[in-house]
Structure 1
Amino acid sequence: MAKVNYKINYEISDELKNKITAKPIKTNYLYSGDDFIFETLHSLRRELNAGTISLNDGDILVVSEKFVSTSQGNFVDENKSKPKLSAYFCYYWSKYIWGYILGPLLKTRSDRVLNLRKMPKPETLKHKQVVIDNVGFIYALKPASEGGIDLTNVPGTYASLLPSKPKETMDKLYNAIKKEFDVDLTVMLIDTDATYKFYKWYITALPYAIDGIIAKIGVFGYILGKIGNLLNMGGLYGATPLAITGNNVYKKYSMELLLYIANLADTSQVPYTKSIHDLMKKYNTYTITEKVLSDMEHSPVVIVKIEG
């Protein structure tokens, strides 16, 4: 099992980090409405039979939110979106205020600033309206990855919303795994969109997260995270745990450790296009087909083990 190195300064010891490993589990591509629980069980069974993994009580199974959202058919066709005045405001705000003022001021990566300055108007207007309609205006003010609504690795002109009923959905997965394999795992749902630290608080720009992370504050979560980084009072902590359930061993873990586990799982997955701008460069389009997606490797499930 590979270990993943980070530049994030987690407040956990190197000794503990060295005891944590992650094993990505490849799955078939899910089409909208396919059963992610069935596919998870199938993929785990294949790896167990091949002897490439073991499952023990207290291991952590980490699941990507896109895997679950696809199963739930939680997509919105942005091509049907009809932009209103608020969407125009958010477009110009992102392109000019973030692209020329806030982005450079808050030390946003130069390539991301450039992408903001070049963002296409028709597609962005529709996307901002979808964000406003589904999660709210304060999320649409964020320059990208607004409210967990994702454009990458989604077919056609669809956008993927966050999973609905995340805790209940993870409970179902936990129970299915326990019944199938007679093992008591902890199950965690994550989103690549970040959690940040600002002073002593953990914050995210997402609409929800696990207890201990402040959510529902939209763009302000992103701004506070950036300020925390500039003032050396926190900063980026990586992927966000959206829900957690199962074996209660996780309740003994610090928030730092849970965030380390979430980001370890996220960054250990098979590399694939994580930015709509990367997608445009690779395929010269903002539209991607299910055929392209099905040809990619997918590892939306990761087994994390902590030795000792």
Structure 2
Amino acid sequence: STASGNIIDESFFKPSLTARFLARFWMRVVWGYLLAPLCRLKPETVARLRDYPVEEGARHKEAALRVSGLLQALRAFSEGGLDVVNLPYSYAALPLRDASKIADHIRRRILKETGRSVAVVISDSDKTFSIGPIHLCSRPNPMKGLVGLGLLAYIIGASLRFKARATPVAASGWTGSMDELLDICEVADRVRGYGAGRNIWEAARRFGVGLTSISWELLGRIPHYPVVLVRRVR
């Protein structure tokens, strides 16, 4: 999304009463004292949620409400696929438009340029939780084979400690199972790393600045690996 300019500046959003409620009460109280402990989040993350930024957080929640609606805005992270990590200031990357078409285009281009037929997968670090053949996904509009339950998917999966793996957003040329695809997404996610941090708090702490004070220059100091090549070993 960032490479295609599919980003927004949350500083221009005027928070509604709903967004302010989400930032001040839902995140600080419901998530901070009920859902975060239930989902077994780290003590450091729990503390951050209890001190959730009211103004910046309200603008972020307003963006989530407009992009994906209330049910997605109830999530603590990656609401509606919005991504604020590895972007400067108040920018947020929107969910990728036409991910399947993009994956198809990349696959055809690779075949044309190299003569090699590969599967192209677009993935997100947002976790899918699996128990047996059932894969619960909290992202909106999940691909076939994933069960989209929004916030409920995260609560169930994290609290019951289901197997957590990075989420495939689109796959072109893939002929394997969903379980294997999830494994590949998780491997790629770990190899790719977390860039400036796992979340906006880690990124801000790394650079020693405020949540909305990270600049392009600071981000330019961090190695970025948007593409990972994965090969089966037989």
TM-score by length of 2: 0.93
Q: Deviations over 1:216-270 (max 9, x none)?
A: x3212211212432xxxxx142210000002xxx32x222211110000000014
Measure the CA separation in 1 of the matches of 2:156 and 2:134: 10
Alignment match, 1:60? none
Matches within 5 A, 1:105-254: 105-198=38-131, 200-215=133-148, 217-229=149-161, 235-246=162-173, 250-251=174-175, 253-254=176-177
Alignment match, 1:259? 182
Q: Does the aligned pair in 1 maintain the 2:20–2:54 contact within 8 Å?
A: no
**Residue 241 of structure 1: SS of its match in structure 2?**
strand
Measure the CA separation in 2 of the matches of 1:226 and 1:103: 10
Structure 2 letter corresponding to 1:240: T
Q: Does the aligned pair in 2 maintain the 1:194–1:236 contact within 8 Å?
A: no
Measure the CA separation in 2 of the matches of 1:105 and 1:266: 25
**Residue 304 of structure 1: SS of its match in structure 2?**
coil
Which ranges of structure 2 fall in alignment gaps of 5 or more residues? Answer: none
Structure 2 letter corresponding to 1:73: G
Larger Rg: 1 or 2?
1
Structure 2 letter corresponding to 1:141: L
Measure the CA separation in 2 of the matches of 1:119 and 1:281: 15
Runs of 4+ in 1 over 6 A off after TM superposition: none
Measure the CA separation in 2 of the matches of 1:238 and 1:199: 13
Measure the CA separation in 1 of the matches of 2:132 and 2:35: 21
Establish whether residue 302 from structure 1 lines up as the match of residue 228 from structure 2. Answer: yes
Q: Does the aligned pair in 2 maintain the 1:170–1:244 contact within 8 Å?
A: yes
Greater share of strand residues, 1 or 2?
Answer: 1
Q: How many residues align?
A: 230
Measure the CA separation in 2 of the matches of 1:139 and 1:236: 22
Q: Does the aligned pair in 2 maintain the 1:74–1:160 contact within 8 Å?
A: yes
Identify the structure with bigger relative contact order (alpha carbons < 8 Å, sequence gap 6+). 1
1:290 to 212, 216, 223: 216
Decide which moves more: 122-131 or 276-285.
276-285
**Residue 237 of structure 1: SS of its match in structure 2?**
strand
**Residue 71 of structure 1: SS of its match in structure 2?**
coil
Structure 2 letter corresponding to 1:75: I
**Residue 299 of structure 1: SS of its match in structure 2?**
coil
Deviation of residue 209 (structure 1)?
Answer: 2.8
Structure 2 letter corresponding to 1:142: R
Deviation of residue 197 (structure 1)?
Answer: 2.0
Q: Does the aligned pair in 2 maintain the 1:270–1:297 contact within 8 Å?
A: no
Measure the CA separation in 2 of the matches of 1:85 and 1:301: 40
Establish whether residue 88 from structure 1 lines up as the match of residue 20 from structure 2. Answer: yes
**Residue 115 of structure 1: SS of its match in structure 2?**
helix
Measure the CA separation in 1 of the matches of 2:22 and 2:66: 13
Structure 1 letter corresponding to 2:169: L
**Residue 143 of structure 1: SS of its match in structure 2?**
coil
**Residue 160 of structure 2: SS of its match in structure 1?**
helix
Alignment match, 1:70? 2
Measure the CA separation in 2 of the matches of 1:106 and 1:293: 31
Deviation of residue 155 (structure 1)?
Answer: 2.1
Q: Does the aligned pair in 2 maintain the 1:152–1:274 contact within 8 Å?
A: yes
Work out the percentage of aligned pairs sharing the same amino acid.
31
Which ranges of structure 1 fall in alignment gaps of 5 or more residues? Answer: 1-68, 230-234
Measure the CA separation in 2 of the matches of 1:219 and 1:170: 27
